[in-house]
Structure 1
Amino acid sequence: MVEHSSLHDQEQQTKKLKRLLEGWRVALLPLKSVILWEQQWHPCAIVGALSVFYLLIWLMDLNTLASFAIMGLILNFIDFIVPVICNSLYGPSSWTGQQEKMFEEICKDIVAHYNKVIYKIRSFYALRETSPFMYYIISISMLCTMAWIASSINNIFLLYILSTVMFLWPGIQHRGIFNTLLSMVNMAPKMPYIKSD
């Protein structure tokens, strides 16, 4: 029964997301191929676009709040202009059933990943009641580490690294690079313990 309601909730979330992304549907299909690295030059395009974006922010030399405001303005402009361009270039008659199916798969993937992240966050906060000692150790150590890193490294550079990893991660997973690296680490020769006499 829980799985059925969960599937029903995911279907409802997918329908809502499809309505929300209706203007973006033409742009999402090529964007998916770039994010999943279907061509060899796609990772370079992602890193290059993010590098130019953060280089412009760095050259403007704004404070943190103004940087977030500029990022918000750019994202709002993109959110406004992409549906207008897509609707003017591609009419509703050029949208095929296969493209609709791919669009629905993209929406289902987004909903599934969103729900997975929310589940992990809720599981972490559930530690507060089941194992408060572990919860506070993890929370305090993570926050101290983040504060130390943020005080040592430029915040714009940290955002650049974070967003680059975030945009490259789907392609890394799709290509199986992370699993390959993990298997290489597991196959590495183990160092024998040195016994003292």
Structure 2
Amino acid sequence: MADMFQEQEKQVKKLKRLLEGWRMALLPLKSIILWEQQWHPCVIIGSVSFLYLLIWLLDLNTLTTIALLGILLNFIDFIIPVISNSLYGPSAWTGQKEKMFEEICRSIVLSYNNFIKQVCNFYSLRETGPYMYYIISISMLITLAWITSTINNIFLFYILSVVLLLWPGVQHRGIINAMLSMVNLGPKTSKLE
């Protein structure tokens, strides 16, 4: 248990060094991703919608779209630290902001480790229950193939992007738990004999 904690702390320190230039930008991004204001989900959906509208209007082939998205990500990765450092000097970075930055890095590491653990658990099912593993994986792949052949791929990526960006806010607000509790509080029907 102590080994896992030490490994996690190493990962947090490594991520903090990696995101050093982004630290001033991550604090407002955290508030948007966690929906600290009521209008933050609208900003997320609007931004993603604008990006995908632009992709749809340009109507580029797949490789060109990937190349342009790579250029855009590289530009953002370059310009955000430059703007953050020019707007906020070293004196703007306080102990409270450092604590929030470390909390962000810790939550990213925890999410990453949980995802890797789930993937490893799924693949360990191959050894412990091969029939269940193949039933789940083949049915998921067939369903994915059917959905992707039926629905436009750009639209699917749009839906996936919106869901992935809204998910932390949904979890933070407890919306899923509230919906499940509403279902459990619903009227119960009695079985007729």
TM-score bracket relative to the smaller structure: over 0.9
Q: 1:86 aligns with which of 84, 88, 99?
A: 84
Q: 2:102 aligns with which of 91, 101, 104?
A: 104
Q: 2:26 aligns with which of 25, 28, 31?
A: 28
Partner of 1:177: 175
How do residues 135-154 of structure 1 correspond to structure 2 at under 5 angstroms?
135-154=133-152
Partner of 1:41: 39
SS class of match (1:62): coil
How do residues 46-61 of structure 1 correspond to structure 2 at under 5 angstroms?
46-61=44-59
**In 2, distance between residues paired with 1:189 and 1:129?**
43
Displacement of 1:189: 3.0
Of 58-67 and 170-179, deviating more is 58-67
**In 2, distance between residues paired with 1:191 and 1:159?**
40
**In 2, distance between residues paired with 1:193 and 1:143?**
38
**In 2, distance between residues paired with 1:176 and 1:77?**
35
Q: Percent identity?
A: 68
Displacement of 1:194: 5.3
Counterpart residue identity of residue 106, structure 1: I
Deviations 1:115-151 (A, max 9, x none): 0011000000000000000000000000011111111
Q: 2:66 aligns with which of 61, 68, 74?
A: 68
Deviations 1:4-43 (A, max 9, x none): 0000000000000000000000000000000000111100
TM-score with structure 2 length normalisation?
0.96
Of 13-22 and 177-186, deviating more is 177-186
**In 2, distance between residues paired with 1:79 and 1:172?**
27
Of 59-68 and 30-39, deviating more is 59-68
Q: 2:125 aligns with which of 118, 127, 130?
A: 127
Structure 2 unaligned segments of length 5 or more: list them. none
**In 2, distance between residues paired with 1:92 and 1:26?**
10
State the aligned residue count: 193
SS class of match (2:6): helix
Structure 1 unaligned segments of length 5 or more: list them. none
**In 2, distance between residues paired with 1:156 and 1:192?**
46
TM-score with structure 1 length normalisation?
0.94
**In 2, distance between residues paired with 1:70 and 1:49?**
17
Partner of 1:167: 165
**Structure 1 residue 95 corresponds to structure 2 residue 99:** no
Displacement of 1:191: 4.2
